[in-house]
Structure 1
Amino acid sequence: MTSTLTNRFRRAARPPAAFGKNTRPGTTVTGHITAVAEEPKLKYGGAPDEVELDENGQPVTQLVITVHTPAGPRLLFVSWRMEQAIGQALEAAGDAEFETGATLSVTFTGPDPDYPKARMFTASYTPARHTNRGQ
């Protein structure tokens, strides 16, 4: 029980999520990447702290990217659709290396027309070596 409570308190003290369930389509979050972590994915609609498991009973993990925005740090909980958008942005930037210090911009474009519970995103990425030019 103590580790469950400790985990809940630690999550509560983290920066807020960049996108919530009431986020409107067209909302964009832009900032410098300050951290990237992989953590167990919580089960959608599950009990508090219930982790999603794969078919073998192993925890499913997800990427969590911290970006520093003008409003302060925000967390991007990377779904596979967001991951696709970020991957396309990396390709468009001509940069194969995802790195802290780079600028990441992610826009929630709306629900997937084929699966309304899923969200669609676009993204742009500027490598760190370009963000500090001229300063």
Structure 2
Amino acid sequence: MGARLTAFENRSTVEMEIRVFVPPARPNRYQEIIRIKSGETKKVKIMTLCCKDTNPENPSFLMVFMDGTYTRVSLLEFQVVNYAKIVGYLHENGLLVLKGLTIGLLTFCKLKFSLVLPHTHTPPKFSYKNVLDL
């Protein structure tokens, strides 16, 4: 089984941090901190975000910080695995909005098939879903 990648993209004007917190640790200790500058995209292996040694009852949390301030948004690992790309930006009221881009197997097959027969190609349909509405 290969390492699954998820891309995090920051479309806001401030820096975004994703801090991986595993519950038995102290509140100020994080397993990993991913810093994403404004307009930048980072690809992250999902296996590095989770601890294999931890108890499944204590899942790892991905806490989202914008400009050094906690946004009260936490993601679980199973939410992140469902998306190929997660786009974060600030709404006009200053609230964080996370959108996930899913690419299904049929879309992948269409992309491979379009290389063989470009005249019958229909553009792939990507679906954006709100990550927080799971």
TM range (shorter): under 0.3
TM norm structure 2: 0.26
User: Which structure has the bigger radius of gyration?
Assistant: 2
User: TM-score by structure 1 length?
Assistant: 0.26
